[in-house]
Amino acid sequence: MSKVYDKQRPLISSHTNFQPLKEAWLGDVYPDDFAEIIDPKYREFLHNISEKTRKDLQRLESKMQELGITVRRPDFDCIDEFLDEHDNLIKPPICPRDWALTLGDELYVIPQYPNKKTGFESTLALYKSNKQNVNVLDRGEFDPMCYVVFPSVVRIGKDLLIDIPRTYSLSKFDTLFEKLSKHYRLHISRTGDHSDAVFCPVKPGWIFSTHYRTQYSKTFPEWNVFFLTDTTKSRSNGHNGKWWVPDMDYAHYNHAVLDIAKDWIGNSQETVFEVNMLVVDENNVICIAEDDLACKKLESIGITPHVINISTRGFWDGGIHCLTLDIYRQGNKLDYWPLRGNLGIYSY
């Protein structure tokens, strides 16, 4: 029997991408008064980005709550907690999926701010008070989990997929892989992609994919794959090769980005945001609609797409999945391929 969810006494448990979602984190931008530390000539830029993002996140939070999800947001008590050693603002906790992972009944968090701060201190304290497994990691104490790219971890019940960057030696993960293989069929790939930026299992038997990944016959045998249109080809690069926001003057603002936010952006010109969706359950997903065909395909397999536009996704390089983190999903760790074989390590 799966545990009963109570938002007053929250639980940590998530075994798949698509079992019913009951609690999730949602990232955020800094409060406007944090911009006082920024050079005045750049404050207008930061305010515009923050204001657009804040409005979109509010719509996303409302939709999540409408679909029965308890939403936890970051805390911003003191600006000093979000500054680097040069008193520059570190990227806000806008994309928790990049540095936090729920794996079964355990939550792993890699702090992005000084003194091991995460931006979700009150939320973590709530989990700990309810005796949930919270692991705040420390890169200084060599823990191989610190070097796992969390958006490249895909949980499908007893099958766990992890993509390891080619720049990392697999030997540094030997202890971790051995530990995980006792509880999962552990599938190791080396494409170097953020998995949630290239494919999404939306329900048992169905994957939505970009044009990049092609080894599904091994990792998801007998599942259907719907390949999305490559929307990056029609996207204007503007005056730079990494970020874009509709109706913003790239030439005017690019110096601001390079001066105050060069570490905040990824490379959104390569991202197909439609695949970076949050699956609420097997009948509902929250997504960005750059591809009408994708929405029609979802509907054809019994899934309702709830479309929320994130206008600044090209700045943060974050779709709906990146902006959120599933904490509690109803359901146990199921075996979706019971004839597949024993637990252990499989490499591709």
CA dihedral (67, 203, 193, 148) in degrees, to 10, reads 80
The residues near 237 (Cβ < 8 Å, ≥ 6 apart) are: 244, 269
CA distance 230 to 291: 9
Query: Is 16 within the bounds of a domain?
Result: no
Answer whether residue 286 is part of any domain.
yes
Residue at 314 is within a domain? yes
- For residue 121, the 8-state DSSP code is H
Amino acid identity, residue 106? E
Tokens for 205, please give them: 């038997």
- The domain total for the chain is 1
One-letter identity of residue 322: C
Q: Is residue 264 part of a domain?
A: yes
Q: What is the extent of the structural domain holding 42?
A: 21-332
* DSSP 8-state class, residue 338: T
E strand residue ranges, 164-277 = 185-189, 199-203, 206-209, 224-227
Average pLDDT over residues 168-197: 90
Whether 145 contacts 153, CB under 8 Å: no
Band the pLDDT of 239: cuts 50, 70, 90. very low
pLDDT band at 259 (very low <50, low <70, confident <90, very high): confident
Which of 94, 97, 83 shows the shortest CA–CA distance to 34?
A: 83
Q: Per the domain annotation, does 337 fall within a domain?
A: no
Which H/E stretch holds residue 314? helix 313-316
What Å distances lie between residue 340 and 179, 200, 214, 243, CA to CA? Answer: 20, 21, 20, 42
Does residue 92 register a pLDDT over 50?
A: yes
DSSP H helical segments within 158-249, as ranges? 174-180, 216-219
Q: What is the mean pLDDT of residues 44-65?
A: 94
CATH number at residue 79: 3.75.10.10
140 secondary structure, DSSP code: T
158 — pLDDT class (breaks 50, 70, 90)? very high
Helix (H, G, I), strand (E, B) or coil at 49: helix
The C-alpha torsion from 59 through 18 and 69 to 321, rounded to 10°, is -40
pLDDT at 240 over 60: no
Q: Say if 342 falls within a structural domain.
A: no
pLDDT for 73 beyond 70: yes
pLDDT of residue 347: 84
Cα(231)–Cα(296) distance, integer angstroms = 16
pTM: 0.93
* Cα–Cα dist 245/249, whole Å: 9
pLDDT per residue over 22-54, tens digit each? Answer: 999 999 999 999 988 888 888 888 898 999 999
Nearest to 138 by CA among 164, 175, 112: 112
| Averaged pLDDT of the chain | 89
Query: Is it the case that residue 137 has pLDDT exceeding 50?
Result: yes
pLDDT band at 274 (very low <50, low <70, confident <90, very high): confident
Residue 347, in any domain of the structure: no
> Does residue 164 lie in a domain region?
yes
